[in-house]
Amino acid sequence: MRLLGTQPDAEVGRLIGRPGKAVWAKRKALGIADPPSLVRHWTNDEDRLVLSQPAGDAARSLHRTVVAIRIRKRKLLRACKPGAAPRLLGLAEAGLRIEVPRYDSKEQEELVRFVGGPYAPPLVAVGGWLKCALRGDLQVAGYTNAPIPWPVAAGHHKQLIVCGDLVKALQTESRLAVAFHFGMSRQWVSGSRRRLGIERLNAGSERLFWRTVNLARTPEARRKLSRKLEGHGDTMTPEAREELRRIQQRPKTRAWKERMSEHWSRRFALLGPPQAWTEDELKLIGTKPDREVARLLNRSLSAVKAKKFQLRNRRGHQTSDSTRQPDSAPPQKAADVATGSEREGPATAPGVPNRYPDPKELVTEDRIRTSEP
């Protein structure tokens, strides 16, 4: 009982093995005052020290963190700065302010351009009342000093009265456009849309989306992306590449063959058999960036990368086995493997290693076929 009121309720509960709420209820029932606060309140002397010294010196003198000193200094400067609250416009000034805004650049004009409109504020005298779509009836305290002046609620200089054309703009225009023309933050626009149940992708947002997509399709953007994705050195070590090659060339189980047969049967039924690689196409791989090769051959980028990796493994394996006497048939050429489905012959992986089982023994009756025999 003597601990009640000397420390926070949660700390007392931890010491005596009881919930913090139970400690709070018992303390209130006994009429014991609240424990001293752990928060150090700022005094006038500390505020004067914060404004007169650098943040590091003030933090050492007051035994506070530098972050706390900087936050307090910003608050004090905003409070001391004359005209901290934005000046609101009257009805006559608001009527004169409705004009075509001036942009900093052509790009900014394109980003904040309206797809609908025009939008005009409800010109109600200061002291009048408007019905807000979010907060009901509000009294007009003035108009914001924005490209499109808008009425502000009394007592809240940052609280726009959501009504009239502002609701239409939130439903039609992009977040950037509404924030720029009505002088509010993008977070406020997103919050107002969410509270009004407006979809995130409206006409204005969709225009900006497709503008970004079209800019990414330009030759300059594609070249920039290619420079970022291509031209990097091979980070795989020879040991890791040899280990990966060994894993890929292990004999496959019958269950794996059945799964792959079913997968490729479904794929062939939908897309048809894959297009065979020709000798000219294989020679082109590695001479230019993969993205450019894919565009020239009318193939996907992943297909070009996969074939490049396959040929690199085959060449690396042939180099490592060049000093040994071959005790089996020479490996098949990549072109023969690629066209094996057309000859209705068994297709095996290129670069069959020495002491590997006979490929004929690995081919079963359920092998992949592109057409019925």
pLDDT reported for residue 315: 62
Q: For the chain, give the mean pLDDT.
A: 77
Q: What is 74-131 written as a DSSP string?
A: HHHHHHHSTT-SPPPB-HHHHHHH-SPPP-SSHHHHHHS--SS---------TT-EEE
Sign of CA dihedral 186, 179, 157, 155: negative
Greatest alpha-carbon pair distance for the chain in Å reads 99
pLDDT reported for residue 279: 87
Asked if 20 and 30 touch (Cβ cutoff 8 Å), the reply is no
Q: How far is CA 193 from the centre of its chain?
A: 21
Instruction: Give dist(CA 196, CA 177) in Å, integer.
Output: 18
Asked if 95 and 123 touch (Cβ cutoff 8 Å), the reply is yes
pLDDT reported for residue 95: 63
Q: What is 191-238 written as a DSSP string?
A: HHHHHHT--SS-HHHHHHHHHHHHHHTSHHHHHHHHHHHSSPPP---H
pLDDT band for position 373 (cuts 50, 70, 90): very low
Closest among 208, 217, 212 to 115, alpha carbons compared = 208
Neighbours of 107 (CB within 10 A): 9
Instruction: Give dist(CA 317, CA 78) in Å, integer.
Output: 71
Verify cis geometry, omega within 30 degrees of 0, for the bond prior to 118. Answer: yes
Strand partners, 132: 136
Closest among 316, 324, 325, 327 to 350, alpha carbons compared = 316
pLDDT band for position 312 (cuts 50, 70, 90): confident
pLDDT band for position 81 (cuts 50, 70, 90): low
Rounded (10°) CA dihedral 165, 166, 169, 174: 160
Is residue 160 helix, strand or coil?
strand
Closest among 50, 46, 97 to 71, alpha carbons compared = 50
Instruction: Give dist(CA 116, CA 178) in Å, integer.
Output: 12
C-alpha to C-alpha distances, 244 to 84, 90, 213, 286, nearest whole angstrom: 66, 75, 38, 21
Top pLDDT among 346 and 101 is at 101
Instruction: Give dist(CA 300, CA 275) in Å, integer.
Output: 12
pLDDT reported for residue 107: 85
In the sheet where 151-153 sits, what is the strand order? 129-132, 136-143, 151-153
Q: Which of 99-113, 199-213, 250-264 has the lowest mean pLDDT?
A: 99-113
Across 310-314, average pLDDT: 74
Supply 336's token pair. Answer: 């023969």
Is residue 136 helix, strand or coil?
strand
Supply 166's token pair. Answer: 């502002």
Strand partners, 288: 285
Considering the entire predicted model, what is its pTM?
0.42
Sign of CA dihedral 291, 293, 297, 303: negative
Q: Which of 37-41, 124-128, 151-155, 289-293 has the lowest mean pLDDT?
A: 37-41
pLDDT band for position 84 (cuts 50, 70, 90): very low
Top pLDDT among 232 and 34 is at 34
Per residue in 322-340, pLDDT (tens digit) is 544 444 444 444 444 444 4
Per residue in 119-160, pLDDT (tens digit) is 888 888 888 888 888 888 888 888 888 888 888 888 766 688
Per residue in 169-207, pLDDT (tens digit) is 999 999 999 988 888 888 889 998 988 888 878 889 889
- The 8-class DSSP code of residue 148 comes to S
pLDDT reported for residue 66: 87
Instruction: Give dist(CA 247, CA 343) in Å, integer.
Output: 28
